[in-house]
Amino acid sequence: MRRLVLGCGTVGNDIVASLTGRSGTLHVITEDSGRVTALRDENVSAVEADPLDPGNYPDRADLVVVGGPSATANLTAADRARERYPDAVIVAYAGEDATEADLRALRDLADRVIDPIGVAAERVLDVATGATAERLRSMVRALRSVEGTLAVVAHDNPDPDAIASAVALVHVAESVGVDAEACYYGDISHQENRALVNLLDIEMRRLDPEADPREEFAAFALVDHSRPGVNDSLPEGIRPAVVIDHHPPREPVDAGFLDLRDAVGSTSTLLAEYLDRFGIDPGRRIATALLYGIRIDTKDFTREVSEADFDAAAYLLGHADTEVLDRVESPSVNPEVLDVLARAIENREQRGSAVASCVGEIRDRDALAQAAEQLLNMEGVDTTLVYGYRDGVVYASGRTRGADLDLGETLRDALDQIGSAGGHADMAGAQVPLGILADVDEDSRDSLAEVVRDIVAGRFFETLEDAPSAPVRTADRAVTFPDKD
What band does 268 get if pLDDT is binned at 50, 70 and 90?
Answer: very high
What band does 471 get if pLDDT is binned at 50, 70 and 90?
Answer: low
- The more confidently predicted of residues 114 and 382 is 382
What band does 484 get if pLDDT is binned at 50, 70 and 90?
Answer: very low
What band does 115 get if pLDDT is binned at 50, 70 and 90?
Answer: low
What does the pLDDT average to over 446-474? 80
What band does 485 get if pLDDT is binned at 50, 70 and 90?
Answer: very low
**Do 15 and 121 touch, CB atoms closer than 8 A?**
yes
- The more confidently predicted of residues 476 and 357 is 357
Q: Does residue 475 register a pLDDT over 70?
A: no
pLDDT, position 324: 85
Q: Does residue 190 register a pLDDT over 90?
A: no
Per-residue pLDDT reduced to its tens digit, 37-59:
888 888 889 999 999 999 999 99
From residue 265, alpha-carbon distances to 103, 156, 305 in Å are 35, 20, 5
**Do 413 and 463 touch, CB atoms closer than 8 A?**
yes
Per-residue pLDDT reduced to its tens digit, 232-254:
889 988 999 999 999 877 778 89
Q: At what angle do helices 71-84 and 100-109 cross, to 10 degrees?
A: 10
Return the CATH architecture of domain 2-128.
3-Layer(aba) Sandwich (3.40)
End-to-end CA distance of the chain: 42
- The more confidently predicted of residues 478 and 397 is 397
- Rounded distance, CA 210 to CA 353, Å? 38
Phi and psi at 425, nearest 5°, equal -65, -30
Q: Does residue 122 register a pLDDT over 60?
A: no
- Rounded distance, CA 385 to CA 87, Å? 48
pLDDT, position 220: 97
pLDDT, position 131: 58
Q: Where are the alpha helices (DSSP H) in 347-468?
A: 366-375, 407-415, 445-464
Q: DSSP secondary structure string, 301-326?
A: TTSS--HHHHHHHHHHHTTS-HHHHH
pLDDT, position 52: 95
Range with lowest mean pLDDT among 95-104, 281-290, 346-355? 95-104
Q: DSSP secondary structure string, 199-247?
A: HTT---EEPPTTS-GGGT-SEEEEES--STTSSS-S-TT---SEEEESS
Whose CA is closest to 30, among 51, 1, 54, 2? Answer: 51
pLDDT, position 394: 93
What does the pLDDT average to over 62-67? 91
429-466: buried (b, 16+ CB within 10 Å) or exposed (e) per residue?
A: bbebebeebeeeeeeeeeebbeebbebbbebbbebbee
Whose CA is closest to 358, among 453, 227, 242? Answer: 453
Bridge partner list, 137: none
Return the CATH architecture of domain 140-329.
Alpha-Beta Complex (3.90)
What does the pLDDT average to over 310-321? 91
**Do 169 and 180 touch, CB atoms closer than 8 A?**
yes
Whose CA is closest to 222, among 209, 239, 210? Answer: 239
Long-range CB contacts (within 8 A, 24+) of 77-82: 77/6, 77/7, 77/51, 77/52, 78/106, 78/109, 78/110, 79/109, 80/52, 80/54, 81/4, 81/6, 81/57, 82/109, 82/110
Question: Mean of the per-residue pLDDT values for the chain?
Answer: 84
Q: DSSP secondary structure string, 29-97?
A: EES-HHHHHHHHHTT-EEEES-TT-GGGS-S--SEEEE--S-HHHHHHHHHHHHHH-TTSEEEEE--TT
Kindly give, in sequence order, each residue whose CB lies less than 8 Å from that of residue 262, ignoring residues fewer than 6 positions away.
246, 247, 248, 471, 473, 474, 477, 479
> Helix %, strand %, coil % for the chain, to 5?
40, 20, 40
Return the CATH architecture of domain 335-464.
Roll (3.10)
**Do 301 and 310 touch, CB atoms closer than 8 A?**
yes
C-alpha count within 13 angstroms, C-beta hemisphere, residue 132 = 13
- Rounded distance, CA 75 to CA 431, Å? 56
Is 473 strand, coil or helix?
strand
Per-residue pLDDT reduced to its tens digit, 408-423:
889 989 998 888 887 7
Is 5 strand, coil or helix?
strand
Per-residue pLDDT reduced to its tens digit, 346-374:
999 999 999 999 999 998 887 898 899 88
- Rounded distance, CA 461 to CA 141, Å? 46
What band does 472 get if pLDDT is binned at 50, 70 and 90?
Answer: low
What does the pLDDT average to over 24-41? 89
- Rounded distance, CA 410 to CA 456, Å? 12
Question: Where in the chain are the domains?
Answer: 2-128, 140-329, 335-464
Q: At what angle do helices 366-375 and 335-346 cross, to 10 degrees?
A: 50
Per-residue pLDDT reduced to its tens digit, 124-143:
444 455 557 778 878 888 99
Check if 140-329 and 335-464 are the same fold: no
Radius of gyration, CA atoms only, the chain: 26
Say how far residue 55 (Cα) sits from the centre of its chain: 41
Query: For the whole model, what pTM was predicted?
Result: 0.62
From residue 443, alpha-carbon distances to 400, 411, 466 in Å are 36, 31, 38
From residue 259, alpha-carbon distances to 18, 75, 90, 248, 270 in Å are 28, 32, 21, 11, 9
Q: Does residue 473 register a pLDDT over 80?
A: no
